[in-house]
Amino acid sequence: MKPFNPFSLTVSVPPHRHCGVTVRSRMLIILLAMVPAAAMAVTQYGIAGFRVMALSMATAVLTEIVCDKFMGRESQISDLHAMFVGLAFAFLLPASAPWWLVTIGSASSIILGKMMFGGLGGSPFCAPLIGWALCRISWPAFMDIDATMLTMDLVYPLAQLKNFGLQAVTATDAQALFLGKQLGGLGVVQIAGVLMGGLVLVMRKHISSIIPVGVIAGVIITAGLFNMIDPEVYAPPVFHLLTGSTIFGAFFLATDGPSSPNRQIPMLLFGMLVGIMIIIIRVYGIYPDGVPFAILLANLFTPVFERIRPRSFGKR
């Protein structure tokens, strides 16, 4: 008989089983899912687009290292979240963004959107949107996609809709819009690439399908209602889905873990709120693309949505 090994009864701290998913592997998958859109952006804008993305990612990572140093924390850049924040922020910018705008925006995404709340998992907001909002408020002229990209022969359909009404929109071909033949944020308008990456994430269960479905449903319902009221003035739902950052927001930004609810009904309500706010801002607001502000607003509602929870067992 084998001698009894006393250590065989030693129990380590839970969890005892896990599926092997780490923050790093999740972020790696998300980054890989953004690659198709990034590749399409580079083919469309050339080195200018690549410059913005690379600068933004590098700044985000460097900023996080410096913040960790000052805050006396162990550096966690190897979990790749900073790279995701940098790339997502770059996706929202016009390809013509000057270097200082990219640097300040990306750094403030990390500082104000992530590290200030205590690192990954603590932030009540989706980090890249904080940097975007800061840049949009501070430098409207440089964030104005239409005015800074006059050399391109593409058009920015949302600005046309906002400034000149539905009749003036020239880019109405759904297929061309789907393939990214429009102006807008650098990566976000590469709808085909973004959608491919998003579907991969959903199918591999890295994000729940409920929030994207909620966002898209919210957009379709609200835009459909407006379109039913007056098809001459309000754009059809397909136009709203295929322009601006609706799809990118639905799959990549609204599903940001810490800032979105984590149960099914709250997730659906959260997604619907984002979708409804997108259309309301696009119709009544002063910003052509309402997605970032819609998501920031919905992030603020997350604690409220999370109050919807099952009654605890045995409690009346």
Partner 1 sequence: MNRLWKEFSKGLWKDLPPFKLVLGLCPVLAVTNTADNGLGMGIAVVFVLTLSNLVVSLIRSIIPPKVRIVCFIAISASLVVAVELLMQAYAYPLYQQLGIFVPLIVVNCIILGRAEAFAFKNPPLLAIADGLGMGIGFTMSLTFLGGLRELLGKGQLFGADVTWQGFEPLGFMVEAPGAFVSLGVLLAIMNFAENVQRRRKGLKAVEGPTHDCGSCGGCSSASNC
Tell which one of 54, 58, 62, 134 touches partner 1 (CB under 8 A). 134
Shortest reach from residue 90's CB to partner 1, in Å: 19
For 105-137, letters b (16+ CB in 10 Å) and e give bbbbbbbbbbbebebbeebebbbbbbbbbbbbe
Specify the residue, 238 or 297, whose C-beta has the smaller distance to partner 1: 297
**Binding track, positions 64-93, relative to partner 1; x by CB under 8 A:** ------x-----------------------
Specify the residue, 124 or 231, whose C-beta has the smaller distance to partner 1: 124
Specify the residue, 78 or 138, whose C-beta has the smaller distance to partner 1: 138
Shortest reach from residue 66's CB to partner 1, in Å: 13
Q: Does 25 bind partner 1 (CB under 8 A)?
A: no
Specify the residue, 142 or 305, whose C-beta has the smaller distance to partner 1: 142
Specify the residue, 52 or 189, whose C-beta has the smaller distance to partner 1: 52
Q: Does 163 bind partner 1 (CB under 8 A)?
A: no
Tell which one of 22, 25, 43, 138 touches partner 1 (CB under 8 A). 138
Tell which one of 50, 139, 287, 301 touches partner 1 (CB under 8 A). 139
Q: Does 286 bind partner 1 (CB under 8 A)?
A: no
Q: Does 137 bind partner 1 (CB under 8 A)?
A: yes
Q: Does 100 bind partner 1 (CB under 8 A)?
A: yes
Residues in contact with partner 1 by the rule CB under 8 A = 70, 100-101, 104, 112, 116, 134, 137-140, 142
